């Protein structure tokens, strides 16, 4: 399947398709037309067809798409047919909430280790994973085939730990720290700033008020 040159906009829509298709599959729906999917997801049918055409169209025949096939293929494109090993750096409110969230595992994201610098947290049990001192992280990453690190720490320290993690094989960072990270080519950073989403909401509230 040719996937070269697919825009990030298309890629960023795939998880939403995957989520809706997963729900349809769980409800026992076997086929769905682009029109029905479009009504369900509130996007145009032509947008759906255009997005899917980037991947060869997923063989829509007669009445619509095969839900299970589409779900499986989009999962493969997203790399969800393989599991990923994660470490969480920072076992505060956010780190603990993420470590306790079971649904990541359903998608193949396995939390293998949680690390912090606060000795009061060492040994704290988060769904069977004990918080470890940050000093252990490099050895842990080397031995456990860790490909993703989630940074739930303040910005001080985030740059240093990122350098260490990528040096020892981490390929992607989910960054909650409020700092831009520089990483070598081939390493991916996904920044999450919940306050940016709130600011977007704020803009839109103001915008619609004026209409
Ligand atoms: P928190 O204070 O509850 O937890 C932070 C934890 O990180 C503490 O346990 C602390 O000991 C640990 N820590 C500090 N420096 C560290 C280092 N270098 N290595 C390992 N552990 C270290 O804070 P919370 O609420 O969990 O938030 C975590 C960070 O994420 C905060 O800095 C906050 O600003 C940021 N944040 C970002 C959001 C976003 O949308 N990007 C949303 C909420 C928080």
Specify whether the CB–CB gap between 188 and 172 falls below 8 A: yes
pLDDT at position 84: 94
**Quick one: which H or E segment has residue 175?**
strand 172-175
DSSP string, 2-71: --TT--HHHHHHHHHHHHHHHHHHHTT--EE-HHHHHHHHTS-HHHHHHHHHTTTTT---SSSEEHHHHH
Tokens at residue 182, please?
């520089």
- Tell me which residue has its CA closest to atom 35 in ligand 1: 177
pLDDT at position 163: 96
Taking the centre of ligand 1 as the mean of its atom positions, its distance from the CA of residue 157, in whole angstroms, is: 10
pLDDT tens, the chain, 211 aa long:
445 578 889 999 999 999 999 999 999 999 999 899 999 999 999 999 999 999 887 876 667 899 999 999 999 999 888 899 999 999 999 999 999 997 888 888 999 999 999 999 999 999 999 999 999 999 999 999 999 999 999 999 999 999 999 999 999 999 999 999 999 999 999 999 999 999 999 998 888 766 5
What structural domains does the chain harbor?
Answer: 8-77 (1.10.10.10), 84-196 (3.40.50.720)
Specify whether the CB–CB gap between 129 and 144 falls below 8 A: no
Question: Is the CB of 157 within 6 Å of ligand 1?
Answer: yes
Determine the Cα–Cα distance for residues 209 and 211; give it in Å rounded to an integer. Answer: 6
**Quick one: which H or E segment has residue 200?**
helix 194-210
- Tell me which residue has its CA closest to atom 20 in ligand 1: 116
Determine the Cα–Cα distance for residues 159 and 149; give it in Å rounded to an integer. Answer: 13
pLDDT at position 3: 53
pLDDT at position 1: 44
Q: Express each pLDDT in 51-86 by its tens digit.
A: 999 988 787 666 789 999 999 999 999 988 889 999
**Which residues are 116's β-sheet partners?**
133
- Please classify residue 91 by burial: count the beta carbons closer than 10 Å to its beta carbon, then call 0-12 exposed, 13-18 middle and 19+ buried: buried
- Tell me which residue has its CA closest to atom 2 in ligand 1: 92
158 CA closest ligand 1 atom index: 18
């Amino acid at each position: 399947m040719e996937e070269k040159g697919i825009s990030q906009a298309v890629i960023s829509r795939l998880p939403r398709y995957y989520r809706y298709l997963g729900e349809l599959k769980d409800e026992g729906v076997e086929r769905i037309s682009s029109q029905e999917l479009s009504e369900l997801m509130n996007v145009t049918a032509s947008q759906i067809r255009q997005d899917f055409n980037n991947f060869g169209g997923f063989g829509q025949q007669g009445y619509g798409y095969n839900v299970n096939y589409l779900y499986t293929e989009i999962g493969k494109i997203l790399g969800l047919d393989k599991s990923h090993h994660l470490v969480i750096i920072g076992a505060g409110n956010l780190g603990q909430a993420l470590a306790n969230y079971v649904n990541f595992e359903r998608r193949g994201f396995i939390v293998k280790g949680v690390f912090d610098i606060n000795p009061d947290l060492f040994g704290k049990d988060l769904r069977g994973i004990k918080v470890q001192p940050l000093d252990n992280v490099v050895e842990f990453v080397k031995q456990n085939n860790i490909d993703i690190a989630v940074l739930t720490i303040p910005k001080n320290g985030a740059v240093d730990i990122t350098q260490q993690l990528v040096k020892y094989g981490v390929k992607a960072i989910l960054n909650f720290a409020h700092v831009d990270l520089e990483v070598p080519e081939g390493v991916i950073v996904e920044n999450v700033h919940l306050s940016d989403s709130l600011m977007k909401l704020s803009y839109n509230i103001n915008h619609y008020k004026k209409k």
